[in-house]
Amino acid sequence: MNKKVYAKRRRQLMRMMNENSVAILPSAPTLVRNRDVEHGFRQDSDFMYLSGFNEPESVIVLIPGRKQGEFVLFCRDRDPLKETWDGRRYGTEGAIEHFDANDAYPIDDLEDILPGLMEGRESVYYSIGLNHSFDKHVLKCVNDLRTQSRRGARVPYEFVSLEYLLHDMRLYKGREELALMRKAAKISVQAHINAMQVCQPGLNEYELEAEFLFEFKHNGADWAYSSIVGGGENGCILHYTENNAELKDKELVLIDAGAEYQGYAADITRTFPVNGKYTVPQREIYELVLEAQNAAFAKVKPGNHWNDPHNAAVKALTKGMVEIGLLKGRPIQLIKDGSYMKYYMHRTGHWLGMDVHDVGDYKVDDNWRMLEPGMVLTVEPGLYIPAGTRGARRWWNIGVRIEDDLAVSKDGYELLTKGLPRTVDEVEAVMAG
């Protein structure tokens, strides 16, 4: 992403901060997988959003109105020996040259320099409690300032949660962000199509998962979250991730998988027959879920509230379940008393962006948030009927979820995940080749 985009974000954030304040944001830590093996590094989304700097052991400090420059970056020094083992580093000079930091200092000097940057500032924007290890560094710097009060050092008197401002900014996607999300969605769509076309009885769930990993990596992307590939009864487990069971004839497979491209996620779910043909009971449930998704789609537009798509989906699902005999009673009452939750126990969507469950409040002043252009959300109704469910033997082990990604536009929405089959006929046609 262009450096100017990051600079614009930093300026916007600093305009919203209190006068005479400072913001502090640490990078993500490295995480050990086991013994000498680390998980692949993934930068903290807030940190990446403001800087584009993709190294651990780094800290952003924003100081509105500072004459010497408002953007200070602490990072690792260049070290030829360590870079031979662990990869290249930008160092302080690279932080200034490539990321437009006004000043850059070695991370080892943080506790010596940060107190001076905080001195005289009334407010510190920092999210206490999210990074317990770094909390200690910040509090030590404050306490160091307190010991210097006799010489006139002014200590900040309040801490303000940084995410209160930053996450509201991230909720609204700009032109550059939407372009990356379209790319993530396009890669994910093709991966889902690939899985449909290779699927057949006798394959293992992890073989379909491999189709996704290949397509993601082949296109310069990675997984946005651990893929769910649940065949048969496993499709009724909402967060199933073992992905190690054999796919059986006449069963469904539910796949929830999405790519992350240059820091932005897609999130897609499709449910299709292992043998390429839906049975009548499978078709009944699938088309009911699809009807609910279409009802939710119709509510995604500016001026409606966050909860409107969910309410529309619940209404369609409950009415449909009564019609096919899965529930008994009046839909209005079944919704009121929550009876539908026996088969539909989750919400219809979530914000989507740099994080698959992206940041941003769903309520403002205790009211559901109004949808506005630039917001991106998922729409993912489902029904789950595990074996043994009383009064539902016809649909045992049928779990169906259909999930797509929508960007709220000026007139309605843009379907980011277009091109991926949604109807029964479309899915069967793709699987038939």
Catalytic residue among 44, 256, 358, 404: 256
Task: Report CA Rg, the chain.
Answer: 25
Catalytic residue among 380, 404, 405, 414: 380
Q: Candidates 3.40.190.10, 3.90.230.10, 3.40.50.1370, 3.40.50.880; correct CATH number of 172-432?
A: 3.90.230.10
Where are the extended beta strands (E) located within 81-164?
103-106, 123-125, 158-160
CB of 230 closer than 8 Å to CB of 195: no
Listed as ranges, residues in the chain with pLDDT below 50 are none
Residue 123 is predicted with a pLDDT of: 96
pLDDT of residue 411: 95
Active site residue 168: no
Catalytic site residue 346?
yes
Catalytic choice (346, 347, 369, 422): 346
218 is known as an active-site residue: no
What is the bridge-based pairing of β-strands 123-125 and 158-160? parallel
Tell me what pLDDT residue 137 has: 95
| Exposure on the CB side of residue 249, measured as CA atoms within 13 A | 0
Give ranges for CATH 3.90.230.10 in the chain.
172-432
Q: Which of 55, 209, 251, 403 is catalytic?
A: 403
Alpha-carbon distances, residue 142 vs 98, 136, 335 (angstroms) = 31, 10, 52
93 is catalytic: no
What is the value of pTM for the model shown? Answer: 0.96
Return the CATH superfamily for domain 3-169.
Answer: Creatinase/prolidase N-terminal domain (3.40.350.10)
Give yes or no: 384 in active site.
Answer: yes
Query: Mapping DSSP to helix (H, G, I), strand (E, B) and coil, where does residue 153 land?
Result: coil
Residues of the chain with CATH 3.40.350.10: 3-169
**How, if at all, do strands 222-223 and 21-26 pair?**
unpaired
